Amino acid sequence: MASEYSHKSYRPLTVATFRLNYMLHELEPLGYHLVNVLLHSAVVYLYVLLCGVVFSEVWPALIAGLLFAVHPIHTEAVTGLVGRAELLSAIFFIGSLLAYNRAARNKG
């Protein structure tokens, strides 16, 4: 963080995924974009699960997930390499909501 070459941001998981990408694909952009698309797919899947909890029906959850998947606002997070932090954040946020919901249902 103190180095002049540091971007002054502490994101160890994001940096670890970039390092793994570099180990596999070096500086080829296709590998980085492929990982971002896979992460976006994981976010969409978790979002559909979350919508299934909210709507309690399959079709509204699938439609909401489809709209979420193709919404233009997500373009930057998927196509830009630095959007990986937002994708990872969304995975952990939605995952924590689903875990809380499961724990609350099992407790009572």
Listed residue (60, 51, 41) closest to 101, CA to CA: 51
For position 108, what pLDDT does the model report?
61
For position 92, what pLDDT does the model report?
97
Beta strands in the chain (DSSP E): none
Burial of 65 (0-12, 13-18, 19+ CB in 10 A): buried
Residue 93 corresponds to which amino acid?
F
CA-to-CA separations, 58 to 12, 33, 37, 40, 61, in angstroms, rounded: 36, 30, 24, 20, 5
**pTM for this model (two decimals):** 0.87
Residue ranges, the chain, pLDDT below 50: none
